[in-house]
Chains A and B, each alone.
Chain A
Amino acid sequence: MKHAIPLWIIFCLLGLVCLLTPGPLKAEQSIMCRYLQASGQDIRLEISIKKPTPASVIFIQYLPLGTKIQSSTPRMKKFNPKKGEAKWLLKKPQPGAMIMTMRLDRPVKKGEVTGEIRYKDPITGSMVTMRVTPP
């Protein structure tokens, strides 16, 4: 059955409208984080940062209660033994990948440690919280 207006004209108009309509504003994640080693006495994780970089980033490491961090790179900023929380404040992070290491006072099993990344999205300004779990 033939149409009054050729279909190709209708599709062209629709296509133009779709092209010109701005899509929803969605910021791509600036930070990705993964555990390289999440068991034993040494914990290692990789934090990858893309442009635009946030002004600062907080990494939180959750540990089994009673576990302490003997040393870490970069240096840990805050530790709450009651909650088993250790925090790092990374200021002016540069784009690229960085490795964070920590040595615990006792070995842990896989799944006993998890992490969290917090930062303010540089584009939208909204607070972003990401859980980091071992693979």
Chain B
Amino acid sequence: MNGNEFPPGNQPVVNINGEKIRRLREHQGLTQLYLATSVGVTTDTISRWENRRYPTIKKENALKLAEALNVSLDDIIDIEDATEKPTSAPKATPEPQPEKLSNNRRLPWIIISVVGLALIMTIFFWRLTGNQPEMVVSATRILPPHMVPGQAFPVLIKIDNSFDQTPSLIIKESFPANCEPIVGVPPFTAQDKKRHFLKWISKASDDRNTFAYLVHILPEVNEHQQLTFSGNVTLGKGRGVANIVGGADTLLARNFHWADTNADNIIDDEEILAVYDDYGAIDGLSIDREQIDAIWSGSGYRWDKEAKLFVVIP
């Protein structure tokens, strides 16, 4: 190995004299930026060299610096230790490497990351536990838009609760004075025909979320008369507040079948599917499914005022 070669991995470095470099630069009216551009480093690096914060630099950089200052290498190196120093590890300034951000500039990003993570974890655990600020139960009434006076139609109340298990409930339903509930599924807990309301008290163990009843419109109801229903549902044992039963609340007395929702004297595919979708699973409600099937199978129906029945048109 000749004296000009160094073992692989060794970088020659020299000790520089920062004061000399500064004096030479200022004497020539040169800026740190000029030197930095000439050597291929940053102005901060030039500043550190001049302030002796990095007394040893790569010989390659020292040569470029000397050339930029228009002096020889000896003029900028430290006389006390003028020999080249091969070193097995590159301990020179880190100028080829990009500068790291100071801690102050990283701090906002750290804060944003921590806050964001905390928010995500909070949402995650909130969804996992399903915590609700208060116990809430709501109910929706499914009511046909019309029915012929003197005939019966079904009313459904579907409970929508946010609990894993169905809680005990009290459902109170008020019906019009010219209507008579015939049967309830499940059976009514209480019924008051004078004050026109009915009640269900459902236990949690019943695990039921649909309450249905069949209502008969009195024959003396006039055509086009509006019949209004209302109700509320409360959690048992005083927990929670009473919520009004939402959904449909008005039925019109008209000469159309209750399943014929668009009043075109036909029960079409969508209407019959809706009948079975809403009422199909409720046993004991006594809706005339055979008649509905027959109207759907035929080409329609008409209301016979004299006979007071629906006539299927084949």
Residues of A within 8 A of B (CB): 1-2, 4-5, 9, 13, 16-17, 20, 54-56, 58, 77-78, 80, 87, 89, 91-92, 118-120, 125, 127
Contacts and interface: CB of A to CB of B under 8 A. Distances in A.
A69 to B, nearest CB: 14
B297 A77 contact: yes
A52 to B, nearest CB: 12
B120 interface: yes
A43 to B, nearest CB: 21
Nearest to A58: B269
Given A56-B276, A78-B296, A92-B280, A127 B270 contact: yes
Contacts, number: 64
Nearest to B124: A20
Interface stretch (B10-18, B98-106, B173-181, B212-220): B98-106
A4 B101 contact: yes
Contact of B293 (A9, A20, A89, A125): A89
B113 A13 contact: yes
Interface residues of B, number: 27
B116 interface: yes
Interface of B: 98, 100-101, 105-106, 109, 113, 116-117, 120, 123-124, 127, 269-270, 272-274, 276-277, 280-281, 293, 296-299
Given A2-B98, A4-B106, A119-B273, A56 B280 contact: yes
Contacts of B270: 118, 127
B95 to A, nearest CB: 15
Contact of B120 (A17, A119, A125): A17
A125 B281 CA distance: 15
Contacts of A2: 98, 100
A interface majority secondary structure: mixed
Contacts of B123: 20
B125 to A, nearest CB: 11
A6 B101 CA distance: 12
Contacts of B109: 4-5
Nearest to B112: A5
B88 to A, nearest CB: 26
Given A5-B109, A20-B124, A56-B273, 18 more contacts: A4-B105, A4-B109, A5-B113, A9-B113, A17-B120, A20-B120, A20-B127, A54-B277, A55-B276, A55-B280, A55-B281, A77-B296, A89-B272, A91-B276, A91-B280, A92-B280, A118-B270, A127-B270
